[in-house]
Amino acid sequence: MEKKKIRNDIILAVCVLAASLIALAVFLCVRARGSYAVVLIDGKETARYSLSENAEIEIKSENGVNTLKIENGKASVISASCPDGICTAHRAVRYGGEVIVCLPNKLVIRIDSASNGGVDAVS
Amino acid sequence: MKTKNIAFIGLLCSVSLILAYIEALLPPIYAAAPGIKLGLANIMSVFALYKYGAKEAATVCLIRISLSALLFGNPWSLAYSAAGAVLSLAVMILLKLSGKFSPVGVSIAGGVCHNLGQILLAMMVLKTIGLGLYMAVLAITGTIAGVLVGFCASLMLKYLKKV
């Protein structure tokens, strides 16, 4: 009985790990350098910036203020008005599909590669 | 409910709160995705689930998240821990009732579902589905943390049999 439970535990752990590793492996294989940093506030795209031009952009919304920095093809958030600052601690993103999230300000910075921009615009 | 059990569940709540506090003191890990954590406080919920039952586990878990949000959180952290806790509790109780899993398996499912609940709430709040990549990372760290938590809960169950 106990042995059977342990076997079930292991099956559960292996299934979860396999599913996530496959998902990550697929992402790592198909990932492409992004071309745009898309700013989404409350789920709506409000702006997109090319990753090829260095810039510092202040993003204001009714929820707060964040500063987006684009440098050497990578986007990061360098300041935020929210108390937790998780978005500023996030590493810079550069591949299509990667996101930086600021939950309190309902802000998402998403990287779009030129190829998947159309698909995401529809979805 | 016997008075002794009430006292013991109160004790579990306070230990759980202290574990949550210790974890809040640790520097957060944002390496690959926000939300990576050990979930030490869940040791007490898993223990209560196996020692007493679903109702007691829910009590320990819900008292802990409300108190820890009041003491060292904010309304946002309360919403997210509640989303994680409710889903993880529901799944843990169902798996326990199925009788097919040991505390380790139950706590793995609990850990992963805690992250899943938070990601689902974040997707709803942000109205974005692009958080799936985080979930893949969190499922891996959640499984590892779940194994650890489950072993701790099993040890407690073994040594506190007579309590």
Q: CB contact, 8 Å: B25 with chain A?
A: no
Q: Which residues contact B142 (CB under 8 A, 6 or more apart)?
A: A16, B39, B108, B111, B112, B114, B115
Task: Measure the CA–CA gap between B74 and A45, rounded to whole angstroms.
Answer: 28
State the CB neighbour count (10 A cutoff) for residue A112: 22
Q: Does A119 touch chain B (CB under 8 A)?
A: no
Note the pLDDT of residue B133.
Answer: 85
Q: What angle do the packed helices B75-98 and B54-72 form, to 10 degrees? A: 160
Q: Hey, of A20, A30, A41, which one would you mutate to test binding to chain B, going by the most B CBs within 10 A of its CB? A: A20
The lowest-confidence range among A7-16, A89-98, B105-114 is: A89-98
Q: Cα–Cα distance between B4 and B15 in angstroms, integer?
A: 17
pLDDT at B136 over 50: yes
* Residue A115 confidence class, pLDDT cut points 50, 70, 90: low
The CATH number assigned to the domain holding B130 equals 1.10.1760.20
Q: Nearest chain A residue to B36 by CA: give it.
A: A86
pLDDT in tens, B52-67: 999 999 999 999 999 9
Q: Does B82 touch chain A (CB under 8 A)?
A: no
**Mean pLDDT in chain B?**
91
Contacts of B115 in chain A (CB under 8 A): none
CB hemisphere CA count around B51 (13 angstroms): 26
Cβ distance B34 to A91 less than 8 Å, yes or no, reads no
Q: Contact A17/B143, CB-based, under 8 Å?
A: yes
* pLDDT above 90 (res A120): no
Q: Which of A8, A84, A106 is facing B100, going by the closest CB pair?
A: A8
Asked whether A13 and B109 are in contact (CB, 8 A), the reply is: no
Tens digit of pLDDT for each residue in B63-108? Answer: 999 999 888 888 878 898 899 999 999 999 999 999 999 999 999 9
B138 pLDDT above the threshold of 50? yes
- Give residue B30's pLDDT: 67
Query: A35-50: per-residue pLDDT in tens?
Result: 999 999 988 899 999 9
Q: Of B21, B28, B45, which is closest to residue B107 (Cα–Cα)?
A: B45
Reference A77, options A104, A61, A99, A95; nearest CA is A99
**pLDDT (0 to 100) of residue A84:** 74
Interface TM-score (ipTM) > 0.90: no
- Partners of A68 in beta bridges: A57, A77
Domain count, chain B: 1
pLDDT at A67 over 70: yes
How many contacts does A have with B, using Cβ atoms within 8 A? 101
Which chain B residues have a beta carbon less than 8 Å from that of A123?
129
- Does position A116 have pLDDT exceeding 60, yes or no? no
Q: Which residue has the higher pLDDT, B39 or B128?
A: B39
Which chain B residue's Cα is nearest to A87? B34
Q: What is the pLDDT of residue A117?
A: 46
Which pLDDT belongs to residue A113? 83
Question: Which residues, in sequence order, are bridge partners of residue A79?
Answer: A67
Mean pLDDT for chain A overall: 87
Q: Which amino acid is at B99?
A: G
CA of A76 to nearest chain B CA: how many angstroms apart? 14
Q: Which residues of B touch A1 (CB under 8 A)?
A: none
Which residues 6+ apart lie within 8 Å of A97 measured at CB? A27, A31, A34, A110, A111, A113, A116, B130, B133
Q: Is A5 in the B-facing interface, judged by CB distances under 8 Å?
A: yes
